[in-house]
Structure 1
């Protein structure tokens, strides 16, 4: 079992793009969604698929279990989604020893851009790039689980 320790921010500008990779298209949906746990299916670039179980109520740290699965199974699970299927392009941006993941949402969530940084420890203190906006760590309405069920948050 791994621990997911991450901070999440809205993105204020496109300045992150100069240091990013080419991005990968992600499709994901939730087949179980509860207050303290979820089961998510995700495909990456249509070539890889993963089932992820997350458990925990903490805004910063949760238990995370990830398993590779056949893309055909993931496609079947998409038909069982709670809410709608999220589509986004994820870009990786290295900044001062940390990898920031910038998600540019499409479809019903178009216009939403969120950055996350995963940390090894709760004590890690990554540098915050100037292109970040407001921190939304712990704001449930910005979790992918809630986005899939409730849509884009109103600011």
Structure 2
């Protein structure tokens, strides 16, 4: 139930040619408080309810609980979310023993491209492709719950 991940900005579109999958995602927040976010997500034809706790000092680890829900439930709950439903396309790229998930944001967050790598241990090394840029792990401006309220194109 502990999620360990690092986040990076992406500096080129080279990852697209390396991707093995892509998915359309819509997500919103029933609660965007960083201490306890409650997210509704539609990924392809599946729905998810996710609860996340606050992160540790580095922002690398935090509690996460996720449950698959029906697509119909997710669509209904998405209508109850706070302002700023996020739309993005997620690409998956294998890099060493990890899968890097790259989110290309749309709408009011157009122009923002971020990558996440889930780890088993905070000190685990990762193989960084040349399209990974600055690390933004722990920078709350790059949390999806933040950009749902304060879109990237308004920064």
TM superposition score normalised by structure 2: 0.94
Uncovered stretches (5+) of structure 1, i.e. residues with no partner: none
Work out whether 1:86 is the aligned partner of 2:86. yes
1:40-65 per-residue CA deviation (whole Å, 9 max, x = no partner) reads: 000111x1000000012320101110
The count of corresponding residues between Structure 1 and Structure 2 is 153
The correspondence of residues 1-155 of structure 1 with structure 2, limited to 5 A, is: 2-45=1-44, 47-58=45-56, 59-152=59-152
CA RMSD in angstroms, aligned pairs only: 1.3
1:43-95 per-residue CA deviation (whole Å, 9 max, x = no partner) reads: 111x1000000012320101110111111111111111112110001010001
Counterparts in 2 of 1:153 and 1:135: CA distance versus 1, 3 Å: farther
Uncovered stretches (5+) of structure 2, i.e. residues with no partner: none
SS of residue in 1 equivalent to 2:84: strand
SS of residue in 2 equivalent to 1:82: coil
Structure 1 stretches of 4+ with a deviation exceeding 4 A read none
